[in-house]
């Protein structure tokens, strides 16, 4: 019983939350376009959670479609885990590259947006 509940919680996090969470940092870079009451542009935790769920709902089916086009996969626990980890890993890599300035030549509009804020 406890193992089933733990599996349900972990599976829900892997599908509905974790794939989109790094992408909220990539897209919004710790801030959102409007300031809050104190004048800071920091994104609140509830906004980041809601956006990560929304992004996960887009990224996981898209990743499944793309992988199914190139590789004919059968549904299994391992394939489901990999499909959830692929967008999360790509998001973490893009966030790391963006934070360390490696993407400034590839995506110059990101630098312009950061200077404007």
- pTM of the predicted protein model: 0.71
Q: How many domains in the chain?
A: 1
Q: What is the pLDDT of residue 3?
A: 83
In whole angstroms, give the CA distance from residue 75 to residue 62: 15
pLDDT tens, position by position, 85-100: 899 999 999 888 878 8
Please answer whether residues 95 and 25 qualify as being in contact, where contact means their C-beta atoms are separated by less than 8 angstroms: yes
pLDDT tens, position by position, 38-83: 545 556 778 888 999 999 999 988 988 888 888 888 778 788 888 8
Of 12-16, 20-24, 112-116, least confident by mean pLDDT is 112-116
Write the CA distances from 101 to 32, 43, 72, 113, integer angstroms.
Answer: 20, 22, 37, 14
- Nearest-10 Cα torsion for 43, 46, 47, 48: 70
Phi, psi of 31 (to 5 degrees): -135, 160
Instruction: Write out the residue range of the structural domain in which residue 59 sits.
Output: 2-116
């Amino acid at each position: 019983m406890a193992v089933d509940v733990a599996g349900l919680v972990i599976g829900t996090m892997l599908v509905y939350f974790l794939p989109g969470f790094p992408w909220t940092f990539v897209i919004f870079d710790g801030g959102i376009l409007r300031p809050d009451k104190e004048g800071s542009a920091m994104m609140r935790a509830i906004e980041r959670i809601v956006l990560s769920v929304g992004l996960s709902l887009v990224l996981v089916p898209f990743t499944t479609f793309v992988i199914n086009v190139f590789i004919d996969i059968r549904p299994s626990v391992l394939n489901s885990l990999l499909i959830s980890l692929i967008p999360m890993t790509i998001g973490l890599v893009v966030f790391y590259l963006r934070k360390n300035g490696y993407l400034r030549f590839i995506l110059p509009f990101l630098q312009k947006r950061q200077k404007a804020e």
